[in-house]
Structure 1
């Protein structure tokens, strides 16, 4: 199941809270190659801070399988420089349970938490808009749309456990927090490392509202979604459940349409089946579904996009017929292209930058605008 290697840290590429990116020289080449020099990631809260010359144990399975997603080593331990025991304190919520790297955190809904009493009483979101997205790459674009309406709104990000489990892996979330675009992160389920830890999406949403003071909350998995090319075999299927959770808690669920005007795969061109399936078959009727109106783009804006997102207009029009059980809201895109251009972090989805797949980011920004206007 795991390809193991030992190695020596030869360079520190970058570091941010909870995350360090390094170069490692392995003691043995990757399978069927002569490659011994790799990039590797250390989650410093879990394994400690690597330094030049440190010996490391590395999981290289993604590299051995030639994966694009996750194509780097993961440092599992610094055997000669183990971190000290964490200080004594409250918290007995275990995440990544029963894996070799299970970690114990103080959950916001933990009995030992200072917020336990608040969350024990909280049952409602009091109408807070909740934007639910399939892909992590939508996060900065959603916030750009929110800020185009009101830059003073407090935005929280609830991280599900459908993809990357360590919250520090998200360079986007770190950059958005640093820029003041994001109030904070809440890691839920088996994910960990957010500003707050919660057991479920439900308690994470309640914590966003009643502890973090969010005006709007975004729910999405971390980077690295999983798909198999089958109808139900992908990690984003749970977006339907997350919309239902927001509705159950008396929030205002907003279902972001994952769209693309550049994806060559038919199941993702126009509105992706990763949005259509959960909205049609899992989400309760009556969800708010923002629909970007590409006709409201200016000619100058279209000139910066290649291809023009209007190429999906007819496809999207036909697909929307299957979502008639929801509240479809046409969204004017005026000003959103400039808002996306102002993002403090890079915009990229499935390897495509903003101009190359404008429909994807405009749909996300439209969802943000719609939520802010609620």
Structure 2
């Protein structure tokens, strides 16, 4: 199930407390690898490292990198202080975290005494690349409002892998991060989506929350076999806690796969069959023909009868991204190549701002 090889660290491309990008020599080949220092400790040039090479060998989306399992020249790594909630449980790589909910946590009573989200806007996406355009469009109008990002365990588990999060934090556009389930490395660790939403409101004091998985997504070409299906139960959780649930629809006119053309079958399945509550679905398309196509999909599947579909008239996504010097890419496509995809996330921001 895991392909493993020994490599020698040849070069350290970049280095921080959270992630190290390396070049490693495996036999006579030089290949890229990722190390998480908080798990393995830092590495040095010429260190011998044990690598998980599975993704590269399968040519997956994360297949450009191997991942360091252990530094064979330094097997010691410092455990985080406090906490007893394990993530990646019962695997050789289980990590100890200090969860907000723990009885020893200074936030424990706030979690226990929670009553309601009080209509707090919670935007739920399906792909990590939706995060940047949403934040750019929201923060351009409300620089001083707080945004909390909840990263689920639907894709990458270590938040350190996200360059988007690092850039947004460096630019002071993202105020706080929460990792849930088996995802780890956020400013706050939570056990599940419910306590994460409570943390966003009661601990962080967020004005808006964005929820989606980290980099990567699992799909199978089947109706229910994709990790983005989590959007449904997350939207239901928001409604259960009395928040304002806003779904980012996955829309693209650049994807060559029929099932993802226009309104993706992922969004149709979630909105038609998975989510159990009425939610807000902003549609941010200005091109008349493309808009008509998506409207026909919405009507065909009765999505307008199940949910509050809202059409956004004015869009400035490209200008919002440029204002903060942000670049976006999803499935290898830039804004210019797949603008409706990125505008869909900004549409949720415009809905909140106009409300």
Q: Tell me the TM-score normalized by structure 1.
A: 0.91
Q: Distance in 2 between matches of 1:311 and 1:54?
A: 57
2:318 aligned residue: 337
2:112 aligned residue: 120
Q: Distance in 1 between matches of 2:163 and 2:282?
A: 27
Deviation of 1:82 (Å)? 2.6
Equivalent of 1:63, from 56, 79, 87? 56
Equivalent of 2:74, from 81, 102, 125? 81
Map 1:186-205 → 2, pairs under 5 A: 186-205=178-197
Residues 87-106 of structure 1: per-residue CA shift (max 9 Å, x gap): 6x421001011111000100
Q: Is the 8 A contact 1:172 1:345 kept in 2?
A: no
Q: Is the 8 A contact 1:148 1:336 kept in 2?
A: no
Map 1:149-228 → 2, pairs under 5 A: 149-228=141-220
Deviation of 1:188 (Å)? 0.1
Equivalent of 2:340, from 359, 362, 368? 359
2:14 aligned residue: 14
Deviation of 1:67 (Å)? 2.4
Q: Distance in 1 between matches of 2:61 and 2:242?
A: 40
Is the alpha carbon distance of 1:359 and 1:200 closer, same or farther for their aligned partners in structure 2, counting shifts above 3 Å?
same
Q: Distance in 1 between matches of 2:63 and 2:118?
A: 38
Deviation of 1:289 (Å)? 0.7
Equivalent of 1:50, from 35, 38, 43? 43
Indicate the larger mover: 11-20 or 361-370.
11-20
Gapped regions of structure 2 (runs ≥ 5) = none
Q: Distance in 2 between matches of 1:45 and 1:117?
A: 29
2:296 aligned residue: 318
Residues 185-233 of structure 1: per-residue CA shift (max 9 Å, x gap): 1000010110100000110111011111110000000111000000000
Equivalent of 1:102, from 94, 114, 127? 94
Q: Distance in 2 between matches of 1:261 and 1:343?
A: 26
Equivalent of 2:85, from 85, 93, 98? 93
Count of aligned positions = 352
Q: Distance in 1 between matches of 2:7 and 2:344?
A: 44
Indicate the larger mover: 121-130 or 135-144.
121-130
Q: Tell whether 2:350 aligns with 1:369.
A: yes
Q: Distance in 2 between matches of 1:63 and 1:311?
A: 40
Deviation of 1:110 (Å)? 1.2
Q: Is the 8 A contact 2:284 2:315 kept in 1?
A: no
Q: Distance in 2 between matches of 1:345 and 1:91?
A: 36
Deviation of 1:345 (Å)? 3.9
SS in 1 for 2:25: strand
1:307 aligned residue: none
- Output the aligned Cα RMSD: 1.5
Q: Tell whether 2:261 aligns with 1:280.
A: no
Q: Is the 8 A contact 1:149 1:369 kept in 2?
A: no
Residues 333-358 of structure 1: per-residue CA shift (max 9 Å, x gap): 33332013334443001100110000
Equivalent of 2:233, from 236, 241, 245? 241
Gapped regions of structure 1 (runs ≥ 5) = 28-34, 296-309
Q: Distance in 1 between matches of 2:134 and 2:329?
A: 13
Q: Tell me the TM-score normalized by structure 2.
A: 0.95
Deviation of 1:275 (Å)? 1.2
Q: Distance in 1 between matches of 2:139 and 2:313?
A: 15
Deviation of 1:269 (Å)? 0.9
